[in-house]
Structure 1
């Protein structure tokens, strides 16, 4: 085997980096949580799963216990497989674990400015304050109900206009809703909207660069200083592709708001409210811009994933679709579409939404926390800079808690022996890193699901032999996941429904 000069230089640098990590590694005064034995220097680097890591972590938890650890190039990874431990560790002692790890690919692409990956510092607290001021409580979301209701009605219209691709209508609606709320922007209906196209592409890249263990630079940060023509630096080309879309995600719609306000036009959006202060510094402006971009991410991906999951569940479990439709018909009737005022009267729909959250959770492996200082937890030593992973997918698929967890059954959340609400088991994060857009996401999901139930009949697509093409209940990989693509047939539940929808859309045309 022969090596080029670049290969030899890179191998030497990696050897020096790894040796220094080993030489300067500390001796721990207490034992780390249990876990598989690793190799010298590299630890468990080769044991780390390359895809759908939450499944592998769940298997490890069965063997090594609800709090376990592995070491990757000297960095301890603490993996939590018990929600009570996660509550205590990240909630009650949350200040110790409020930080995020440095994601090298985020630094290289500019995504480190987003709230989800922000370090626990003044900028992080400013982001949360700005977002919390607008959508921090259930009550504060009420002023957005008209926009949410209108866009959920538009979901039905968009699906009926292009029934061959309901997933596209769901993506368009989620993006339209959050752009409307965040920037006061109404999308183009007769052609692909450039704001939505840019945002979707950027969010796909965001999810990809945050995949656990996907890029070598996360294990060897020194690689970011190596020229892009060296071996093993493909990540640099990927990072270069992401910089432009990342910037556009925040810059383009924010510039739209600034232009509107400059012309004296009406804009009642989140971003417009933040821009009312005329003496904004450049640093403050960056905070406003990225808090708005984070606002977008908080609502769009959750809605897309959960509504798409509903179409899948309606195909695989037609009884669920029939029961949900029967409840809506009984409570709301067929002469209007359901609204937020109906929520308390639709317990089966509420259970349906909970089961959608549980069945295919959108963030199955919560964004990792970072230990901010050395500490001892339940007798185990957790060194500073340890990464803490919470296996939310396992929490929501634990057969000791959820009967037959792979099955879709909303009734598990009804009655005196209801199973735990997924929101209480880390669905939107933990401690000081709980998603500040949780109320926005929940409102958006509920209104879109109840409209879909009321308006759409979903059935499986068929092949050339007339056989049903049933979807597989699995998700994509990444930090934010969606159901894997599938085909289905969708149609209005009745001709009368189309007339009801037309009237509802006329009533909402002037929503700002």
Structure 2
């Protein structure tokens, strides 16, 4: 054999050996978990709905960090906030990516911040949002809008006391449209912006449900024609494309037209659009950062305020105590404002308990491992999906006494229980929600106005029996309390007069 050929074979053999040595995975096991089937793994074990409950039970059996496999992809499930903090908040960008959500790609929702991959576009979105609402101090200039819309919330509730849930949804939409785009909704008829955005957000939550669509398990199915028997997801996706585009396009166009006419607009989008040297690519980033801003703010407020009404029905003593505190600090001749916040510790505790009791994002949007990692002797391969069970963190009986009982007192006194915001409520690390300060002030002002102005009591059935709600939520990535009946009314006739005066004083807020 010619020496050159021998030399070549030796070099190739050496390269092969080096490749095998260095490409081998570390000799560490995956985190423990239920044994799956060949090829498909644990796909048959995936819960159909409310997956956080199943994951919590698995955590009790397999430990605070466990795993399953779905067609070769490891799903790492974390049931301990310290582990979540160490992996997701203290490792830089290692877990800053998101998995590719096939339904998001098919519908256009991949352009929103929540599902964006960890890339230049993601960083640009964060920078744009952070520029306007990145700190508590940034939010101060939005206080007048927040206060006005929270007063309007009371008016909407009293205008339709049979459906306080509708008033809550309308207010959340009105508040975020006002803040994001400087748009004031129509009050005497269904508003076209609100209708479009709410519909789009319902679709957004649905398509992000863990394991809800077959294409997430078999990505190759996305190439099927929509008429194919297993392609219901394709038909669903086609229904979502238009609403997704309209949610971003229509209100953004409204702002551009206002600015072109020289009209005053002090909104989030207007602040960004005032830079006249914007490229078309940057304009797209602005539009979708604004749409992401809306998506982050609206559902949070709806869920928490509606949860307060449920809690007021189930725990009337909490409502009475919160009202007493507001009355003692604010009096009855005005409505509470942001200036009263530091003087209302019980109200603050109520808000924390609302976050904890029925968390708005019970199972955080999954992170994707961007490289191999070994954690406490367990191997977490690149491309693993990491799920954080925030619901379990906030209902762990070792941390929260009687966790299914609504009890704001747990956050008061010399030894308060942990603040839910510190246990992953708004995400981790570089994926923490950039609208956290917006959510904080929006939720607080609406809850305190509800406490000050509304009496919430149980509904009764046709036989005069009290109808108590079930403290549970819908399914999805962002959840709401399941619908329930209640009776709402103003706390007094004087309150209505105070409200009307406050609305007159704030009607010119832009």
TM-score exceeds 0.5: yes
Equivalence for 2:399: 401
Secondary structure of the residue aligned to 1:95 is coil
Comparing 375-384 with 453-462, greater Cα deviation is found at 375-384
Aligned equivalents of 1:136 and 1:87: distance in 2?
21
Among 276, 279, 296, the alignment partner of 1:278 is 276
Among 292, 306, 309, the alignment partner of 2:307 is 309
2:222 matches 1:224: yes
Equivalence for 2:19: none
TM-superposed CA distance for 1:507, in Å, is: 0.6
Residues 26 and 236 (structure 1), Cα distance of their counterparts in 2 relative to 1, 3 Å cut: farther
Aligned equivalents of 2:436 and 2:278: distance in 1?
28
Superposition map of 1:96-175 within 5 A: 96-175=94-173
Equivalence for 2:193: 195
Aligned equivalents of 1:485 and 1:273: distance in 2?
37
Equivalence for 2:254: 256
TM-superposed CA distance for 1:226, in Å, is: 1.1
Aligned equivalents of 1:52 and 1:224: distance in 2?
25
Equivalence for 2:231: 233
Among 49, 57, 60, the alignment partner of 1:59 is 57
TM-superposed CA distance for 1:91, in Å, is: 0.7
TM-superposed CA distance for 1:94, in Å, is: 3.4
Aligned equivalents of 1:406 and 1:456: distance in 2?
25
Secondary structure of the residue aligned to 2:94 is helix
Aligned equivalents of 2:404 and 2:198: distance in 1?
29
Equivalence for 1:16: none
Secondary structure of the residue aligned to 1:97 is coil
Equivalence for 1:88: 86
Superposition map of 1:375-394 within 5 A: 375-394=373-392
Secondary structure of the residue aligned to 1:376 is strand
Aligned equivalents of 1:44 and 1:347: distance in 2?
46
TM-superposed CA distance for 1:46, in Å, is: 0.2
TM-superposed CA distance for 1:95, in Å, is: 1.2
Secondary structure of the residue aligned to 1:381 is strand
Aligned equivalents of 1:98 and 1:281: distance in 2?
27
Superposition map of 1:410-449 within 5 A: 410-449=408-447
Residues 152-171 of structure 1, C-alpha deviation per residue, up to 9 Å, x if partnerless? 00000000000000011111
2:354 matches 1:356: yes
Aligned equivalents of 1:26 and 1:279: distance in 2?
50
Equivalence for 1:9: none
Residues 467-500 of structure 1, C-alpha deviation per residue, up to 9 Å, x if partnerless? 1111000000000000000010000000000000
TM-superposed CA distance for 1:417, in Å, is: 1.1
Superposition map of 1:467-482 within 5 A: 467-482=465-480
Equivalence for 2:38: 40
Secondary structure of the residue aligned to 1:79 is strand
Residues 186-242 of structure 1, C-alpha deviation per residue, up to 9 Å, x if partnerless? 000010000011010000000000000000000101001111122211000000000
Secondary structure of the residue aligned to 1:116 is helix
Equivalence for 2:13: none
Aligned equivalents of 1:95 and 1:125: distance in 2?
12
Aligned equivalents of 2:260 and 2:135: distance in 1?
31
Aligned equivalents of 1:262 and 1:447: distance in 2?
33
Secondary structure of the residue aligned to 2:174 is helix
Aligned equivalents of 2:225 and 2:269: distance in 1?
39
Aligned equivalents of 1:98 and 1:428: distance in 2?
14
TM-superposed CA distance for 1:26, in Å, is: 8.0
TM-superposed CA distance for 1:421, in Å, is: 0.2
TM-superposed CA distance for 1:280, in Å, is: 1.4
Q: Point out the structure with max Rg over C-alpha.
A: 2
TM-superposed CA distance for 1:29, in Å, is: 3.0
Secondary structure of the residue aligned to 2:93 is helix
Among 38, 49, 59, the alignment partner of 2:47 is 49
Aligned equivalents of 1:54 and 1:263: distance in 2?
49
TM-superposed CA distance for 1:279, in Å, is: 2.1
Equivalence for 2:184: 186
Secondary structure of the residue aligned to 1:94 is coil
Secondary structure of the residue aligned to 1:60 is helix
For structure 1, list consecutive stretches of 5 or more residues without a partner in the other structure. Answer: 1-24
Residues 402-430 of structure 1, C-alpha deviation per residue, up to 9 Å, x if partnerless? 00000000000000110000000000000
State the 4+ residue runs in structure 1 displaced beyond 4 angstroms: 25-28
TM-superposed CA distance for 1:257, in Å, is: 0.5
Comparing 219-228 with 394-403, greater Cα deviation is found at 219-228
Aligned equivalents of 1:192 and 1:289: distance in 2?
24
Equivalence for 1:288: 286
Taking only aligned residues, the RMSD between alpha carbons, in angstroms, comes to: 0.9
Aligned equivalents of 2:202 and 2:224: distance in 1?
26
Aligned equivalents of 1:431 and 1:371: distance in 2?
13
Comparing 235-244 with 263-272, greater Cα deviation is found at 263-272
Equivalence for 2:5: none
Aligned equivalents of 1:95 and 1:379: distance in 2?
21
TM-superposed CA distance for 1:28, in Å, is: 5.6
The count of corresponding residues between Structure 1 and Structure 2 is 488
Residues 101-146 of structure 1, C-alpha deviation per residue, up to 9 Å, x if partnerless? 0000000000000000000000000000000010000111000000
TM-superposed CA distance for 1:378, in Å, is: 1.3
TM-superposed CA distance for 1:346, in Å, is: 0.2
